[in-house]
Amino acid sequence: MKILSCLAVAAAAMMTLTPATAADASKKRDRKRAKKAPEQVDTVTMQQTGIAAVEPVSQSPAPVYGSDTLAGRTASELGVLIPEWYDKRMAISLDEYFDRYLSPDAPSAVAALPDSVYERRLKELVSPVQLPYNPEIKGYITRYIDGKDNLMGRIIGLSQYYFPMIEQELILAGIPVELRMLPVIESALSANAVSRVGAVGLWQFMPATGKMYGLEINSLVDERRDPIASTRAACRFLKELYDLFGDWTLAIAAYNCGPGKVNQALARAGDNSRTFWDIYDFLPRETRGYVPAFIAATYAYTYHRNHDVQPEPAPVPLAVDTLRVDRVMHFEQIASTIDCPAETIRALNPQYRLDIIPAAQRNYTLVLPQRAIPEYISRETEIFAKDSLYLKEYINPANLDKKRREVTSRTYKVKRGDTLGSIAKKHGVSVNALMRTNKIKSANMIREGQVLRIEKR
């Protein structure tokens, strides 16, 4: 509203100028521009823009889109330039988002700010999901902002990859974009996260619930780990929960503990209960913290700069594209042929449990870095020719079952400054898996010199 008001005032001022004063103002602007104009345009390198190299030129008209500047590029050249441009654009857009929509308050610690500041900031995030402020929420804000392991910094780095696809599905489903923070609470944006009770993926679906919403779950494929498929399933689930309860805080609570538990809490709280806070005392303990954690994560993500939280780089390529695969294929067929490591393919396609795309009877998707797409297409025949080499051990069903049960194990000695989060990230496992393997009850209960066992399937 403030921005619109400023624009209206400026427009009104321009309309009140007389022709003479308008001409004078125009001349002044021209003189200022001439004064500021440089002798020549700075060189713009390919590394800076990711699009094209431009030689230094004297003052002359800017190049027109569609001119010869980009003409004659091969698919391979564009395959390099487009991802570089996309990565740069994504980094800039993230900065612009926080610059444009953040409160201009100076960085400060949680404890140093009065409660009124948090309350005001949350009110400024006008949302169909209620975002109140209370001591419970403040406690979770402290965890996200003051965490020594920079949890929110890692989440912001991951969000550059995951949020665009999550937001698109939320918008298509017609539900609040703010719900993008739910997988932050569920899995810290880890597609491979596994809970103690067997919930998997960004949205932490149990097998029965995942299958209820159409996710494929078997020995080779687990779509609970597929960012897009699982998000679509979560959108359907959340929409149905909102239709049941008519309030987003209740729908979010029901996502955590189930609609039955929320309905029981409503019955115990009385007929006038309408929101999460009305039934707070009657909910399971974990769910009582779930909505406050959601609100706190929303605050911490939006206002992280105000608390000097440093975003970490995205751990996967941001510029990716999707191919359709119509035959059984192993990741190593691709990695051994084109310049794309198996680890990258695995990170972009976490739904394939044994590095196999089982496209025998229907098509499956394959996500690759954009820069690798032209090479994949040009060498597709060579990739296909390697199927007997990399798939022979999987032709026998017994071998498949053996591979599925196979576990690699190693140990790690905890060093000063280590956290479970940093150790898990370093070794490519989830925090929950580390805790489960080593029977650790709290993520904060590790000590220097402690030996941890790390298992990877």
Query: Which residue numbers are catalytic?
Result: 186
Distance separating alpha carbons of residues 450 and 455, to the nearest angstrom: 16
Distance separating alpha carbons of residues 126 and 131, to the nearest angstrom: 8
Query: What is the residue-wise DSSP string for 270-288?
Result: -TT--SGGGSGGGS-HHHH
In the numeric block, which tokens belong to residue 354?
A: 């044994």
Q: What angle do CA 246, 203, 279 make, to 5 degrees?
A: 35
Distance separating alpha carbons of residues 119 and 141, to the nearest angstrom: 12
In the numeric block, which tokens belong to residue 104?
A: 């201009």
Residue 323, SS3 per DSSP: strand
Q: What angle do CA 251, 256, 259 make, to 5 degrees?
A: 55
Distance separating alpha carbons of residues 292 and 442, to the nearest angstrom: 20
Q: What angle do CA 355, 357, 363 make, to 5 degrees?
A: 165
| CA end-to-end span of the chain | 53
Distance separating alpha carbons of residues 344 and 455, to the nearest angstrom: 20
297: left (phi over 0), alpha (psi -120 to 50) or beta: alpha
Q: Is 325 exposed, middle or buried (0-12, 13-18, 19+ CB in 10 A)?
A: middle
Q: Is 203 exposed, middle or buried (0-12, 13-18, 19+ CB in 10 A)?
A: buried
